[in-house]
Structure 1
Amino acid sequence: MPLAILALAVSAFGIGTTEFMMMGLLPDVAGDLGTSVPTAGYLVSAYALGVVVGAPLLTALGARIPRRRMLLLLMALFTAGNAFSAVAPGYGTLLAGRFLAGLPHGAFFGVGAVVAARLVAEDRRARAVASMFLGLTIANIVGVPAATLLGQHLGWRATFLVVTAIGLLSLAALALLVPQEPDEERTGVGQELRALREPQVLLGLLTAVFGFAGVFAVYSYLASMMTEVTGYADGTVTVLLALFGIGMTLGALAAGPLTDRALRPTLYGSLAALAVVLVGFHYAAQSKATAPVAVLVLGAVGFMTTTPLTMLVMNKARRAPTLASASNHSAFNLANAGGAWLGGAAISAGWGWTSPALVGAVLAVVGLAIAVVAGGRDRAAPAAPVAAAPAAAHRESAAVEGP
């Protein structure tokens, strides 16, 4: 893989650490700022809201900016948001800092996915995108636990300073390793918006919202399930969360080559497997012997959906894939919020701590149904004639969906 993809993966590591580290820092932040833990929990929501708003907005605003420069601007904004969070004097300013840090998240991964795909041969595009996402999964293995420990011993502000340093390192790596694209690779806002209105792109985004919500219906309450149901001590939860991150990494490694070989079958298979695993998780969480295996497998099959979903919307957007790819991350964060809400509603209704797994299984089945409907539309649609286009645009229009 080109070294530019390593720069993208390092950036993804910093973004992934920032996104998830707040969950482990909530008690420390709440105590230091004189607020309650539930109120501090809105700091997680502020970041997610920043992602949902920033992904389409910043991508559209930067449609005419060369992608290498856009990556640098987005990483600079991310770094500034974390630096601002580190010195925030109160809860309100920290809330603003979290929102600011979340704004470039989706746009960065959207632009980065297009850049990564264009750095390699056609038959290795999904592997390149999956390699970038490895930084995100490794953040859950190393970055988030390390950030939690650092915050507990040196204070939560030190954690934000370290992530700021990672942002500066990422800026240097992107500037040195990511090549400048030719002028003809740029697209306009109108072209990006037209691509986003494609029915198959919208169906892909809808698949992401429902399918990935099944993962977050469980992940949002994983710590409580492991302590309240399985019987693990609080200190063991960090290890289990790292185990989930290992599963995510294994899923990303498997998804790349499988998606390059056959996109839709990989998507169908991963969503179907996710539904089955979620049902099994409901029962496996009852035992200390089976719960760790269930956590690992859930991370793997859950994250296997991200690469085919990303490649699907990029392929369907064809000549203007950047906004569609960025919007996919808005869809993932809507899935995050929706899955957490539905899982919490099931617990509040008295269905039990593991009931979110069954809710998640239903969501995964809905996502699979949407994906199958979209696949049927593909098979029913007549082949479109190939219009004259620049070479770069023609390369982008090729699909890697398989049978």
Structure 2
Amino acid sequence: MKKYAYIGCLGFIAVITTEFGIIGILPQVAEYYKISIDKAGYLLSAFALVIAVTGPFMTLITSGIDRKKVMLAAIFMFLITGIVSSLSPPFWMMMVVRVLPAFLQPVYIATALSVAVAKADKKRKNELMSIVFNGVAIAMVTTVPLATWISGLYSWEYSFMIQAAVSLIALLCIYFLLPSMPVAEKKSYGSQMMILKQPSFVLSILTIFFMITAWFSTYSYFADYLNKAKGMNTAMVSYMLLLFGVIGILANWIAGKMLNKNITGTISFFLSGTILIPVLLYFSDGNLPATIVVIGIWGFLYSPSFLNASTYMISAAPNSLEFANSLATSFGNLGVTLGTTVGGWIIISNGVQYTPWIGLVFGILAFLTIILRSCLETRNKTVLCS
């Protein structure tokens, strides 16, 4: 049902606002706590690392619990994070409350997707999944740039107030609009983990890991990059995040349609941005109109990355949707961690202007694993037909 997909989308907006809302205010947080930008980046990379390490296990553990209760518990944790962070606690405490909801983030995403497609026919599943994943793009066009803009007007703490408000709205909507959804039949842990023995699934994991690493080596430091490499102030960065999000909504809708026709072709098309964007950013140099156009292209090619990742992973294990998606979320966030870490190291050692080139390297690695999976599947079909 579309209603369930839109509820899942709303919760996703809260999730993304909390996880990535920090990107636009990293320079201010670093200045407030008197730390370097790469250390401030731990607020993003630590969050992502917890998801990467615990995601699949948390999804397996909660797979027999009423789906409504799971979604409520997850969003409640995001609400707590926003409230505590807005009080500008000591840095160690902010790290702790940032990490807590990360344990349930992949559980929320996997559950929201399964709820959205539970009663849908096969032809509509990717379209309904794209509605849920539009929460990423909508957050990028509304709450994330708004939080950055407000923090520029007042202080960074207001950004977390907005995050808390969005989480509260999502919590109330799930509580009042989503019916109780007990799990009718719980799959055994062993049957779900069997997919890890499939070579095509392992290659899909590597593709997602390399793809997300490629994007986040620069995107994690979006504000810092535009500020230092392109000379934009905080207000201008918020406008760029807005542009990023507006185009991202369109990109997710288009990607949802494209995925219904050709999954491998779609992920390859959008992945091309990891190679194209570094080149375009380099040649746009200090030209503001050219840079704005490149950011628009960047937003279009980046925004469906999580939708593409989940769909590509699930296509390798269609009978284990929730577990496969939790692995997509986990390895995607492992990519966020590596991209943020390597990006921070490059900023400290060479300068922020070099971060896009990291994306090009990991983008090429992602293309190689896509080719390997395609060759493997073609060979298996040939064997079956002979």
Q: How does 1:360-399 map onto structure 2 within 5 Å?
A: 360-382=359-381
Task: For 1:338, give the aligned amino acid.
Answer: L
Paired with 2:45 and 2:312, the residues of 1 have a C-alpha distance of 27
Asked if the contact 1:86/1:161 (under 8 Å) is kept, the reply is yes
CA pair 146-318 structure 1, distance change in 2 beyond 3 A: same
Structure 1 stretch 177-186 or stretch 160-169: which is displaced more? 177-186
CA contact (8 A) 1:66 1:186 kept: no
Range with greater deviation from structure 2 (334-343 or 36-45): 36-45
Report deviation, 1:154: 5.9
Offset, 1:28: 5.2
CA displacement at 1:373 relative to structure 2: 0.8
Instruction: Write the deviation string for residues 275-302 of structure 1: whole angstroms up to 9, x where unpaired.
Output: 2333223222442121111111112112
**Residue 287 of structure 2: aligned partner:** 287
Q: Measure how far apart 1:58 and its partner are.
A: 1.5
Bigger mean CA deviation after superposition, 89-98 or 376-385 = 376-385
How many Å separate the matches in 2 of 1:230 and 1:162? 27
Cα contact 1:110–1:325 (8 A) shared by 2 = yes
Task: Give the distance between the partners of 1:176 and 1:117, measured in 2 at CA.
Answer: 20
Taking structure 1 as reference, are residues 198 and 87 closer, same or farther at Cα in structure 2, changes over 3 Å only? Answer: farther
Shift, 1:181, TM fit: 5.0
* Residue matched to 1:112: 112
Q: Which has the higher contact order (CA 8 A, sep 6+)?
A: 2
Q: Which residue of 1 aligns with 2:131?
A: 131
SS of aligned partner of 1:70:
helix
- Give the whole-Å Cα distance in 2 for the aligned partners of 1:230 and 1:11: 33
Deviations 1:127-153 (A, max 9, x none): 211111111212122112222344455
5 Å matches for 1:40-189? 40-86=40-86, 89-151=89-151, 156-181=156-181, 183-189=183-189
Partner of 1:65, secondary structure, is coil
Distance 1:236 1:153, change over 3 A: closer
Deviation readout 1:2-27 (Å, 9 max, x if unpaired): 11111111111111111122233445
Alignment root-mean-square deviation, CA: 2.8
The answer to whether the Cα contact below 8 Å between 1:52 and 1:334 also exists between their aligned partners in 2 is yes
Residue ranges of structure 1 left out of the alignment (5+ in a row): 386-403
Cα deviation, residue 35, structure 1:
4.2
Partner letter of residue 362 of structure 1?
A: V
Rounded Cα–Cα distance in structure 1 between residues aligned with 2:133 and 2:140? 12
Give me the whole-angstrom Cα distance separating, in 1, the residues matched to 2:31 and 2:210: 35
- CA-CA distance at 1:221 after TM superposition: 3.6
Residue 126 of structure 1 contacts residue 308 of structure 1 at CA under 8 Å; is this kept in 2?
no
SS in 2 for 1:314: helix
Q: By how many angstroms is 1:344 displaced? A: 4.2
- Mean Cα displacement is larger for which, 103-112 or 253-262? 103-112
1:50 offset after TM fit, Å?
3.0
**TM-score of the pair, normalised by structure 2:** 0.88
1:9 paired residue number: 9
**Which residue identity is paired with 2:19?**
E
1:148-175 deviations in Å (ceiling 9; x for gaps): 3444556555543443333232223223
Aligned to 2:324: 324
Specify the code of the residue in structure 2 equivalent to 1:374. Answer: R
Q: What percentage of residue pairs aligned between the two structures are identical? A: 23
- Per-residue deviation, 1:310: 0.8
Question: Given residue 360 of structure 1, which amino acid in structure 2 is its aligned partner?
Answer: G
List runs of 5+ in structure 2 lacking aligned partners: none
Q: How do 1:195-274 and structure 2 match up within 5 A?
A: 195-274=195-274
Partner secondary structure for residue 36 of structure 1: coil
1:118 counterpart letter in structure 2: A
**Secondary structure at 2:289 match in 1:** coil
- 1:62 deviates by 0.6
